[in-house]
Structure 1
Amino acid sequence: MPGWLRSIPIEDVGVLAAVYVVAALLVVVLVLPRPGTAGRTRTRIGWTALAAGIGAAVGLVAVWQVVDVQDVFGVAASTVIRAAAAAGGAGVGVAVVNLVRTRWWRKALAVVAIPAVLAASAMMINRDVAYYPTLGDAFGDTGVGSLAFDEAAGQDRSLATWRPPADMPRTGTVGTEQIPGTVSHWHGRAAWVYLPPAARVAHPPRLPVVIAFSGEPGGPSDVFLAGGLQKTLDAIAAQHEGVAPVVVVPDQLGSYSANPMCLDSRLGNVATYVTVDVRHWILDHLPVAASRKEWTVAGFSEGGTCAVQFGTEHPGIFSSFIAVSPELAPFNRSVAHTIAVGFGGSRAAYEAAKPIAVMHRIGHYARTRAIYSVGGLDKRYGADAPQLAKASRSVGMDTSYRVFPALAHNWNTGSAGLSWGLQQLTSWWRLPA
């Protein structure tokens, strides 16, 4: 895909308006009666209205089946999503009617109208959930390739004494890396990695590191594309002499819609992959500090639940965690299914693995920072984060909690929560002023 086409910002108001107007004009022209007798015109209007109604119903049923019945996304569909599906279905219905017993030019308009209406509907839904920023992202052409870095250059330099060289880049860079599951035997998709400007010089300092996770369904790219994380990290670097955390987003899912719940189970040894394979790969390949003080785990939705799991279960590795819209416990389809596939059928093991139970079992967390956030319109998971925050405070964690009033359970919240959480940790990591 050409660069100019790939970079079209499909969430931009101007781009959206242009697509909406084109789709609407095509449908209006197709709705206008054709020349002919009054009786034929009334018949055509009747068929058009019927087709539009059937199309709208099909769109609504599709959303109901995928979102409400199959619960593919773990949250209810918004009014915008349902309206977009209905409008798209109605528009397709109008176009289909105009493919039958019409002049060639109406058939041609109908053929053009179908993809235009579907594109407008899809873009409206995408804008609502804030998932794909550009056209290239939507088609899997992100323009991001393998990461290029100098593995061993100057990793013994202290951040406290390091000074930025004159030739340091002004922004960070993002690339992909395949992190092998040497110990865990986990086979994940390529991780996405962010290196701040301070990591892109000949002798970088030992930097803080964040292991971050996407939600489910999803993948590592979501954190940067839907979450807009590079913009936040570059802003942090600009305020702190080019220093920001190295961020590694491994694949804790395995595929777009899988959910092994960040456990070691029959679904895969994801916990070992993250705490052993990913951690050792980071220490061996990237200019990061080894101390727990500089290690953070973060995520949104299912990834936020993972962040709480790792942050509470492994305080010796992570001194802080950022959980955006997390759940109270690992969850896959239902509690019964979760226990069956994640805990070998043991209810006791499931209860013991709940983060609040883990907190109470450990009892006290020294020098640990917990940061929670949630969308105020998140009706499904909105009550979980405050319970986790309360439990974190009770075991001595330095805890922050924030509600984003006008946001729901989508990547608008994921982006806002991760950005806010990272900003909260700049003094925790002792970044240079």
Structure 2
Amino acid sequence: MGLTSGAVLALAVLSGVLLFTGTVWLWPRLARQSWRTVGARVGLLFATQAAVFAAVALVANQSFGFYASWADLFGRETGRGVVVDHSAGGAPSGVRVVDTRRVVPAGTGRPESGGQVQRVEIVGRTTGITTPAYVYLPPEYFQPRHRARTFPVAVVLTGYPGTAEALVDKLHYPRTALNLARDGRMRPMILVMLRPTVAPPRDTECVDVPGGPRAESFFARDLPEAVLGHYRVGRGPGSWGVVGNSTGGYCALKLALHHPGVYAAGAGLSAYYDAPVDATTGDLFRGDRALRNRANLWWSLEHLPPPDTSLLVTSSRSGESNYRDTLEFIERAKRGKPTRISSIILESGGHNFNTWRREIPPTLEWLSERLSPR
């Protein structure tokens, strides 16, 4: 049974209920003062609390998409290699479609009317990084009258650890994009949804780690190349945008600041503005001060030439720890032309899926206004 399955959650809840009931029922019998009864009482209390904790943790994981599998939870996930065929005269495609499904499972009909979500594996030609992803293709992608049409692309990133599936099932990016386009509030757009954790379980913070994973190069070079080789997407510098929440938001802003020729717009939902170094990241910089500075968005705003890109940041006056930093980031970004800065500031909202679901529709509309399909 998978970590995110309903059966595992039901088993954990049932175990907690049975253990709690059994503890209440057996407690009078275990009231005698002997080492056996004391040990039994301790064991029952421990088992009950462990079951309740497991149930709460499973609910939180299903709600926020922290881990996708048992292997992911225990740090044993390993990326599987993908065979890439290099045909003569053509660029290799680093995308392999694993599975497809409709955007809304209940009755959306054919992809020509409801779009399609493809589960894929992407392999980086230059970095060797392989990672799973989901690709949303709008209905227009499949309609005969649009066969020659290219589409703008938004790369969508989770937080850490996060799961790409949560972008589909919890944050509802494909469904939101479909509804906004149907209402005429945004142009049809392809979404490439994945997590920034491209070398699990390590949190690379989208950094080219010396002697380690070259995460920034993967997102700046390999990912666009792979998608361009497989889908009808825009090739111009204004065709690509990137959006993410939390760690993904930091990565989105950094990619737009550092690679404006690739990403014409970057949106950071509840983002922070400097890469942390902790137990999840390990030593990201190996003493390289220039690399350390490059990962600091404050430093980038002050010391690098202002890039020709659009940035969007979000926060809440109550509930988000990045509120003051976000206001300061806006002020600093406003000083540099041609960089453009926008914001969404909620009155209240925590660092969670519910807050991001409120911010995603206007964020996608903002991206649509700034991206060109060519």
TM range (shorter): 0.7 to 0.9
Counterpart amino acid of residue 237 in structure 2: R
Structure 1 position 232 matched with structure 2 position 176: yes
| Displacement of 1:147 | 5.3
| Displacement of 1:311 | 0.6
Residue of structure 2 in register with 1:100 after alignment: none
Structure 1 position 178 matched with structure 2 position 121: yes
Structure 1 position 355 matched with structure 2 position 304: no
Normalising to structure 1: TM-score of the pair? 0.63
Question: Counting helix residues as a fraction of each chain, which structure ranks higher?
Answer: 1
Residue of structure 2 in register with 1:29 after alignment: 21
2-side partners of 1:224 and 1:272: how far apart? 25
Residue of structure 2 in register with 1:70 after alignment: none
1-side partners of 2:292 and 2:354: how far apart? 31
| Displacement of 1:247 | 1.2
TM-aligned CA distance change 1:354 to 1:90, over 3 Å: same
Structure 1 position 424 matched with structure 2 position 369: no
| Displacement of 1:392 | 2.1
CA contact (8 A) 1:180 1:187 kept: yes
CA contact (8 A) 1:262 1:271 kept: yes
CA displacement, residues 44-99 of structure 1 (integer Å, 9 cap, x when unaligned): 9987765566x3xxxxxxxxxxxxxxxxxxxxxxxxxxxxxxxxx6445xxxxxxx
TM-aligned CA distance change 1:191 to 1:28, over 3 Å: closer
TM-aligned CA distance change 1:41 to 1:387, over 3 Å: same
2-side partners of 1:118 and 1:394: how far apart? 49
TM-aligned CA distance change 1:239 to 1:429, over 3 Å: farther
Normalising to structure 2: TM-score of the pair? 0.72
CA contact (8 A) 1:297 1:311 kept: yes
The equivalent position to 1:316 in structure 2, one of 237, 244, 261, is: 261
Counterpart amino acid of residue 185 in structure 1: T
2-side partners of 1:242 and 1:301: how far apart? 24
The equivalent position to 2:341 in structure 1, one of 399, 402, 407, is: 399
Structure 2: gaps of 5 or more residues:
72-96, 102-109
| Displacement of 1:328 | 1.5
2-side partners of 1:238 and 1:210: how far apart? 18
Residue of structure 2 in register with 1:218 after alignment: 162
1-side partners of 2:127 and 2:239: how far apart? 27
TM-aligned CA distance change 1:293 to 1:185, over 3 Å: closer
The equivalent position to 1:121 in structure 2, one of 56, 60, 68, is: 56
| Displacement of 1:313 | 0.9
2:205 counterpart SS class:
coil
The equivalent position to 2:310 in structure 1, one of 340, 361, 369, is: 369
| Displacement of 1:41 | 6.5
1-side partners of 2:21 and 2:295: how far apart? 60
Structure with higher Rg: it is 1
- Counting matched residue pairs gives 331
1:192 counterpart SS class:
strand
CA displacement, residues 143-177 of structure 1 (integer Å, 9 cap, x when unaligned): xx72579xxxxxxxxxxxxxxxxx87222211122
| Displacement of 1:323 | 0.6
TM-aligned CA distance change 1:9 to 1:416, over 3 Å: farther
Question: Counting strand residues as a fraction of each chain, which structure ranks higher?
Answer: 2
The equivalent position to 1:273 in structure 2, one of 203, 218, 222, is: 218
CA contact (8 A) 2:160 2:247 kept: yes
| Displacement of 1:419 | 3.8
| Displacement of 1:243 | 4.5
TM-aligned CA distance change 1:378 to 1:125, over 3 Å: same
CA contact (8 A) 1:132 1:138 kept: no
CA contact (8 A) 1:216 1:256 kept: no
CA displacement, residues 190-216 of structure 1 (integer Å, 9 cap, x when unaligned): 222111111123415221101222222
Counterpart amino acid of residue 146 in structure 1: V
% identity of equivalent residues? 18
Structure 1: gaps of 5 or more residues:
56-88, 93-113, 150-166
2-side partners of 1:9 and 1:185: how far apart? 38
2-side partners of 1:213 and 1:351: how far apart? 23
Structure 1 position 130 matched with structure 2 position 64: yes
TM-aligned CA distance change 1:362 to 1:220, over 3 Å: same
2:364 counterpart SS class:
helix
CA contact (8 A) 1:130 1:412 kept: no
Residue of structure 1 in register with 2:92 after alignment: none
The CA RMSD measured in Å over matched residues stands at: 4.0
